[in-house]
Each structure stands twice: as C-alpha cells, then as structure tokens.
Structure 1
Amino acid sequence: MIRLTGAVLRVGLTGGIGSGKSSVASRLVQRGAVLIDSDRLAREVVAPGTDGLAEIVAAFSDRVLDADGALDRAALGALVFDDEAARRQLEAITHPRVRARAAELAAGAAPDAIVVNDVPLLVEVGLAPTYHLVVVVQTEVATRLERLTRSRGMSRAEAERRIAAQADDERRRAAADVVLTNDAELADLHGSVDALWHDRLVPYEVNLRQRRAVRPARVALAEADPTWPQQYARLAARIRHAVTPADLRLDHIGSTAVPGLAAKDVIDIQLGVPSLADADGPLAERLADAGFPRLPGEWWDSPRPAGSGRWEKRLHGSADPARPVNLHIRETGSPGWRYALMMRDHLRADPDQRAAYLVFKRELAAAAPDVATYTTAKDPWFDEEHHRAEEWAARTGWRP
C-alpha cells in the first residue's frame, strides 16, 4: 500500500462506468487540481517495451498482442473478464505498477497542490484509506445505461455486464466522504464540484500543509446521525493505514458512538499506544501527514472522576474542515483509556441514563455554548455517573 506522505492533499475520485466521473475530473482540473488518471497510467505501464507488458505476455501468452506487438486490450479482456483467477493475476501485474507511478507523480507535485487520483476501481481494490478524501460520482443506473449505449456504442447487454462487474452504489457510498450526484444537467454537476473545491478541498489543503486542526468554537448539538459509525469506520481505516505497521487498537468513543444520542458533530476516536512516548515520535508525523495534526500544548483528560489526578493523553484533530475529529491517544490499559470505553458502553447499555445525559447536555449547551465552558461544566455529572458505571461494570463483568 502507498502511504500518505508530506503535505500534498490527495483526493481519490471514483464512480461507476457511465457515471460522469470524467466530467468531474475535468472540472477539478479547471479549478486547479493536478489530475492523475489511473486509466492512462494503466496503459502507460503496459506499453510496448515495458516489463509490465512482458510479464503479461509471460502469464497469458502472445495471444494478447496485436500485429504491432502492442497489448490487444480486447483480447486480454476476453480472457480475464469472466475468469476471476486470471483477473487477479492481471491485477497483480498492473496495479502495483500503477500505484507506484501515481505515487511518483504525486511526489512531484507542488507542495500546495491538490492531487486528484481518478481511479475507476478505487473501492473494489480497497484503496480508500490511502487518500485524505474520497469523492464518489453517483448516477442512476438507467441514466448510465443510456449514456453507455448512446455515447460509447455499447449494446445494452454489454453495458449491463460492465455495470454489474463493478461495485454497487451502496458499497461506493460506504467508502465515500463526498457523494456527487450526477442525474441532472452538467451545470448542476459543475456547481457541486465548484462548491466542493472552494468550501472543502482548498481549506483542507491549507490546513494539511500548515498542520492545523479544525476546532469548533461553539457547542451545537446535532440530532443523532445513523451514519456516525460509518464515518468513524472511514476515519479509522485512514488512521490504521497511517500507523502501519504498528498494530494499534482504535475505538469509536464519545457521544457519537452511542446510538440515539444527540451530540456535537465531532467524531471522537481513541488510539491506544503502549506508551505515550510512542505518540511523540514518528507516529505524530504520520498522523499529521494523513490529515490528523497534533493540537498544540499539553493535554489531559476532562471530564474525569474527581480526585483521580491528571490523566495524560495526546490529542490530534482533523484538517478536514467538514469533518471535525478528536483523536485521543492514550496508553492502552491506562485509567483514561479504560474510562472512555466504560462510559461509552455504560451509556449504550442503560437507556435511562442515556436519556438523563441527553437532557443534561441540551440544558448545558443552551447555558454554556462555548466549548471550553461546556466541557468543564460536564465534570460534576461525569463524577456522579462514574460511580454508576463502575457498579454496572462490576455487575455485568464488563471488560474493555
């Protein structure tokens, strides 16, 4: 896998065949993006004279060459389209070369570039965690079929077969940070792309390069969002990729991890490390490169039980202006690490206390809308709730 490195913002762009992904790519280039087209690279790495073409011929024979010695893509496609083993063999030859070339091009971009990787099979081959942001272009299947038969001259059967061979819309949405719907006029699509560029991509790039995290200044409770766990899963996959080869535990914590609970629209994530010293070295830089810069200063847990002393941690945020994150790095097994998991699971298990906490949060948000006051004012409630949570943990045999 290619690791996110440096301050260059890398955006993965994908969508099903006939969705209009190329139109989005072209518009992003007009706005100033550096485009890396995986389809073009796929042709480049198997051009005549390359070791990629030589390996394909060794695997599939010279039946896949045309009269001029170039790759006959139609002949190769006929061999692998309905043969999963053959397709996997082909992917093992071409995909690493395409990724390596894409990484080389991204490394050569200007430090303030926004690099867009147009990758048709981004979801299918599991590349989503390697990008700072994934954009999916989504179009109704009927519209895609009409485009493929009209613009590309495919028969309806061939168009249906091509669409069925790719990931479906649900799977793409699960991987998407942004979904651009392309069922209306081209001007509408351009408007959506322009808004994405100005409102999210440009400020994201600046934040990433300057190692600056998004920090909401005011408390605004959002109604429970059923997609919060899915959003956490995307963020966790990105973090896990950034810290590889370390095998560190990640957990979704805080109010957005409790189903049905209104919360600030900030995803809280806990990353367990063997020692906080591990959080102060290369790990911090890897997280910043992946879009999770360290917050300045010295941090310790709040809320925490009264009299428990200072629970140290390291705190990172998100450079993405549309997705605030609190990334709490705590020593695995420490009191703060255990407390975060226990309080989450206690509130998940006790609907009455969950309801009481929600009432308290709403009252507090109305009375103390700034984040610092809101956070400190929650301490007394957590002091009292901590005792109930410990009793629940002992009664149920809970373990982190």
Structure 2
Amino acid sequence: MLKVGLTGGIGAGKSAVAQRLAHLGAVLIDSDVLAREVVAPGTPGLAEIVAEFGAGVLTGDGALDRPALGARVFGDDVARRRLEKIIHPRVRERAAELAAAAPSDAVVVNDVPLLVETGLAASYHLVLIVETHRELRIHRLAETRGMSADEAGARIAAQATDQQRRAVADVLISNDGTLDDLHSHVDCLFRERLKLFEANVRLGACARPGQELRIVESDPDWPAQAARLIARIRHVLGDEAQVAHIGSTAVPGLPAKDIIDLMLAVRTLSDADAVAGRLGAAGLPRRAGEWADNARGIPGETWPKRLHGSADPGRPVNLHVRVVGSPGWRFALLMRDHLRAVPAAREEYAAAKARWQLEHADRWSYGLAKEPWFDTEARAADDWAEEVGWEPAP
C-alpha cells in the first residue's frame, strides 16, 4: 500500500486532482468529508463543539451551522485551535480506519486541506501539492463560491503560504492550464510513479536507477529533498534517530549523480537489521547482496554497513546504515564537511568527476575509478580535521 498526502491552497484545484486520482483507481480519503462525518448530528464530536462554543453554532434541526461556527473562529487563532483539537484527532482516527480497510495493493490518497499546517507530511510516502497562481485562485473562488476578491484574498492569507507548501512537496502539480492539461499530468504521475512506487513498497523492492552514468550540475533543492526523507525516517524510527545527508548532493555547488545519499547511525549492525522492516515499509527497502552490506574505503579495508534504497522511481536514494564511531561513519561525515569547507578540494573533486565521466559509461566502473581519489581524500581530510579540530556531527 502506498500512502499519498494531497493538499493545496483554497482555489488551487486540489479537488480536481483528487477526483482524477480516484477515477484512475486510487482509494480517496477526503478529510473535508470526514470532518463533516465526525460532527454529524448525534456524534460525540458535535456534542463537544456545542459544549465549547454554545448552542448558537447549531441549526434549527440540530445540525452544525458551519457559517455560524466559521464566523466564531475565523480570525481568532485561539478559538480555531480549540476547534481543531476537537475535529482533527477524530478525522485522523477515521482516516486511519479507512486506510487500514483498503486493499493491500492500493494507492491511498489522503486529501488533507491542512496537511502542511498540521505537520503531517512525514507520515506519507509521498506528498503532492497542487499550486495555482494567486490571481487565478481568486478568480476561481469568485466563480465557484461567490467570494469577493477581498474575501478570497483573506481565505488565501489564512492558509499556509506557497513557500511553506513547496517545502514539503515531493511532487508539485501546476494547475495554471486547462483541465485537460491537469488530467494529463495526473495520469502520467499515477502511471509512471505512484503505481510503480506502490508495487515496490508492497514487494520490498528498490527502484534502482539504470547503470548508465549521468553527472548533473548541483541542484539547490537536494538539501530540501534530503530533509523530507530524513523527516520520514524519523517519523518511523523516532525523533532521536541520527540521520545525516552525506555524499556529493550534500555539498553545495558540487556536480553529482542525482542520487540522495543519507546515513543512519546505529549502535550495532544488529540494530540496523532490527529496523530494516520499518524502513522498508516507509519506502526505503534494504538492498540485497553482499555488496549492499559492505563499503570499501581505504583500499584493502572493508567497512561493514547495511544499505537501503528507494522504492520511489522518482527519487533515487542510498541510505547507508553504519555503526556510530566506525571508520565508514566517520569518513562519510568528514569527507562531506571537508569538501564543504575547502573550495580547492571541492573544485578538484568536481574536475575529477568530469574526467571520470568521459572515461566511464556506467556507474560501476565510475565507482571503481574513484577509489584512488578516496584514498587521497582520506589523508587530506584527516589533515584538515586535525588542523581545525573537527568533530563528527550530523
């Protein structure tokens, strides 16, 4: 089962994306629908709202008067938080029940208007954000809900900003075009990413990148992508999990393969094996084979570890699980920090990458070609560490 979080600002077109995903076969869990369900007449949720806000938030037939309640809480952060404490836990509990009842091979899409505001992003395998420029959103709200420009602007301002949503977005869906454009985008996403991602999670398989070597320019979004992955790991292992962004994508300005390298620190390799199942369920299954359990550093020396990959075909990942204080753990952090701090070392590595790329067509031979450089880098980094008093830190 794949758990997908879907959100977007008011008027962005989130509902159109949700409906299209449901049409394609996804199991849709609509938080707006659940928010109405948990406060229907006769429910404990409605009784608690009345106890908190008074009988003035009821209609004549005993149902919740949403406009009246909205008038009570809109613009009043304290009142809004009191209401959210009543509704949100009930919605989450009901959503969990529906997800548990879905087929084992389902793509479960949780349509959550306040996904960003409630900090739920890390609980999903993937987060989709629907985005539309502000003027078009205001125009749509005027047409579909009869809002004035001022009313629409106030509603938009009361929600998370586009920047805040982008920070949690694994996939950004632009809805500035036609409905056909939107459907085409969603269809491709469902077919080429979501369905494959689901199958890999269910089967415990990695979506491995091809063997063809491709070095790309440094992407300023790599740290944000790593941060989202780290948040998911901590969601399943606990906030105390020590996870670091390492490798070339962790060094600003350094060209690299578009593969995010992360490192999880554990006390023993037995601990690494104990959490492998939870990592796999979160979309980071363990890679099979002896090569996945050992990393060669200094020539002739083997550094034991466990290696996980990504079930997501849209985001290649190497998750190295190493023992705290081991040579491999130390060198991964030291190399990253050395290259970040010493421009000459970073530039030399970038130039070497360019040469190796010309000489080698596949990732395997490229990796072997780097071994002598790692030996030299280890000595240079150690000298730098001693000079500056470096200590390892995630």
- Structure 1-normalised TM-score? 0.95
Inter-partner Cα distance in structure 2 for 1:181 and 1:371: 34
Amino acid at match of 2:216: A
Per-residue deviation at 1:368? 2.2
Amino acid at match of 2:364: A
Per-residue deviation at 1:297? 2.4
Contact 1:302 1:379 in 2 (8 A): no
Per-residue deviation at 1:144? 0.6
Contact 1:45 1:97 in 2 (8 A): yes
Matched residue SS, 2:305: strand
Indicate the larger mover: 34-43 or 198-207: 198-207
Aligned residue among 327, 330, 344 for 2:336: 344
- Deviation per CA, 1:51-85: give whole Å up to 9, x if none: 11111112212221111111111111111111111
Inter-partner Cα distance in structure 2 for 1:344 and 1:150: 52
2:231 paired with 1:237: yes
Correspondence for 1:5: none
Correspondence for 1:9: 2
Aligned residue among 13, 23, 27 for 1:20: 13
Correspondence for 2:133: 140
Correspondence for 1:385: 377
Amino acid at match of 2:228: R
Amino acid at match of 1:134: V
Inter-partner Cα distance in structure 1 for 2:117 and 2:245: 25
Contact 1:301 1:336 in 2 (8 A): no
Contact 2:284 2:309 in 1 (8 A): yes
Contact 2:296 2:303 in 1 (8 A): no
Correspondence for 2:240: 247
Amino acid at match of 1:284: A
Amino acid at match of 2:313: P
Aligned residue among 222, 229, 232 for 2:216: 222
Correspondence for 1:369: 361
Unaligned runs of 5+ in 1: 1-7
2:285 paired with 1:293: yes
Inter-partner Cα distance in structure 2 for 1:338 and 1:232: 19
Alignment of 1:143-182 (within 5 A): 143-182=136-175
Amino acid at match of 2:131: Q
Alignment of 1:32-47 (within 5 A): 32-47=25-40
Per-residue deviation at 1:303? 4.4
- Deviation per CA, 1:319-371: give whole Å up to 9, x if none: 00010000011111221111100000001111111111111112212222222
Matched residue SS, 1:311: strand
Contact 1:314 1:330 in 2 (8 A): yes
- Deviation per CA, 1:183-223: give whole Å up to 9, x if none: 11111111111111111111111111111112222221011
Inter-partner Cα distance in structure 1 for 2:358 and 2:3: 39
Aligned residue among 125, 137, 150 for 2:118: 125
Indicate the larger mover: 369-378 or 227-236: 369-378
Contact 1:303 1:376 in 2 (8 A): no
Per-residue deviation at 1:300? 4.3
2:185 paired with 1:188: no
Alignment of 1:33-112 (within 5 A): 33-112=26-105
Indicate the larger mover: 90-99 or 34-43: 90-99
Correspondence for 2:349: 357
Inter-partner Cα distance in structure 1 for 2:149 and 2:108: 35
Per-residue deviation at 1:273? 1.1
Inter-partner Cα distance in structure 2 for 1:384 and 1:292: 32
Indicate the larger mover: 318-327 or 297-306: 297-306
Aligned length: 390
Per-residue deviation at 1:31? 0.9
Matched residue SS, 1:30: helix
Matched residue SS, 2:302: coil
Inter-partner Cα distance in structure 2 for 1:224 and 1:314: 27
Contact 1:300 1:310 in 2 (8 A): no
Amino acid at match of 1:200: R
Alignment of 1:274-353 (within 5 A): 274-281=267-274, 283-298=275-290, 299-307=292-300, 309-353=301-345
Amino acid at match of 1:210: L
Distance 1:303 1:346, change over 3 A: farther
Amino acid at match of 1:133: L
